[in-house]
């Protein structure tokens, strides 16, 4: 199909937009983000860290657990995958819990009471839904500065970015972060821009613009 026959190409994030600008005409590319479903916040005391994702090398679970060899903070790991059983055997520590796959509601309950969500993926990722789902319940996110992480995580504002080799040192330095409440509130503000109703409204406007151009 000729490029001229296509009105728009949609990408999910500013990072993806940056990746395709050298391949496609900039005026034909638009960002159309995913939306997140609302989930109630909690007033419970926050403690520990949570990881949500597949247990495979590209998701950074090995890098995360390697960092935890130098830490003793509670870590909850939610998800399954090819590395689940080997890692459970290797990291038999009282402060590391492997919960496997859980229903979405239970996942969010764990995320909403964690002090931080750790997103150590080594992939670029297509979007990063877990990041925004954590932020909407006020849980700041710690991630590597790879791909879409930099679109959502602002270092020292709503979470923290760090190279994989510095993960343990960063976590030690921010566990008792004096401005944690500010981090948490900024995380909520970031996620508010991606609520489903706002995303749907934006998408309808985008389609109306396209229809107007083609009429």
Confidence at residue 214, expressed as pLDDT on a 0 to 100 scale = 65
**pLDDT, tens digit, for every residue of 78-90?**
999 999 999 999 9
Confidence at residue 167, expressed as pLDDT on a 0 to 100 scale = 97
Confidence at residue 40, expressed as pLDDT on a 0 to 100 scale = 83
Confidence at residue 159, expressed as pLDDT on a 0 to 100 scale = 98
Confidence at residue 129, expressed as pLDDT on a 0 to 100 scale = 94
CB 55 within 8 A of CB 81: yes
Cβ burial, residue 182 (10 Å; 0-12/13-18/19+): middle
Confidence at residue 6, expressed as pLDDT on a 0 to 100 scale = 80
Cα distances (angstroms) measured from residue 61 to each of 64, 88, 107, 169:
5, 12, 17, 17
CB 188 within 8 A of CB 163: no
SS3 letters for the chain?
CCHHHCCCEEECCHHHHHHHCCCCCHHHEEECCCCECCCCCCCCCCCCEEEECCCCHHHCHHHHHHHHHHCCCCEEEECCCCCHHHHHHHCCCCCEEEEECCCHHHHHHHHHHCCEEEECCCCCCCCCHHHHHHHHCCCCEEECCCCCHHHHCCECCCEEECCHHHHHHHHHHHCCCCCHHHHHHHHHHHHHCCEHHHHHHHHHHHHHHHHHHHC
- What are the residues facing 50 on neighbouring strands? 76, 117
- What are the residues facing 141 on neighbouring strands? 117, 159
Confidence at residue 158, expressed as pLDDT on a 0 to 100 scale = 98
Confidence at residue 215, expressed as pLDDT on a 0 to 100 scale = 58
Confidence at residue 23, expressed as pLDDT on a 0 to 100 scale = 83
**pLDDT, tens digit, for every residue of 164-199?**
999 999 999 999 999 999 999 999 999 999 998 888
> Within the chain, which residues score under 70 in pLDDT?
1-2, 214-215
Confidence at residue 92, expressed as pLDDT on a 0 to 100 scale = 94
**pLDDT, tens digit, for every residue of 50-60?**
999 999 999 99
Distance CA 135, CA 152 (A): 10
pTM higher than the cut 0.85: yes
């Amino acid at each position: 199909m000729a490029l001229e026959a296509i009105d728009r190409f949609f990408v999910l994030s500013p990072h993806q937009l940056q990746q395709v600008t050298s391949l496609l005409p900039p005026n034909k590319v638009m960002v159309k983000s995913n939306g997140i479903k609302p989930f109630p916040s909690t007033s419970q005391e926050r403690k520990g860290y949570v990881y949500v994702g597949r247990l495979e090398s590209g998701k950074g679970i090995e890098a995360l657990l390697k960092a935890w060899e130098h830490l003793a903070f509670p870590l909850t790991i939610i998800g399954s995958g090819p590395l689940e059983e080997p890692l459970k055997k290797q990291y038999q520590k009282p402060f590391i819990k492997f919960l496997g796959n859980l229903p979405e509601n239970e996942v969010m309950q764990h995320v909403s009471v964690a002090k931080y969500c750790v997103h150590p993926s080594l992939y670029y990722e297509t979007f990063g839904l877990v990041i925004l789902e954590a932020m909407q319940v006020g849980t700041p996110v710690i991630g590597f500065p790879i791909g879409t992480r930099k679109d959502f995580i602002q270092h020292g504002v709503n979470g923290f970015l760090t190279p994989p080799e510095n993960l343990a040192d960063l976590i030690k330095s921010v566990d008792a972060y004096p401005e944690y409440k500010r981090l948490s509130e900024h995380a909520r503000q970031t996620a508010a821009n991606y609520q489903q109703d706002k995303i749907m409204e934006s998408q309808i406007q985008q389609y109306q613009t396209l229809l107007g151009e083609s009429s």
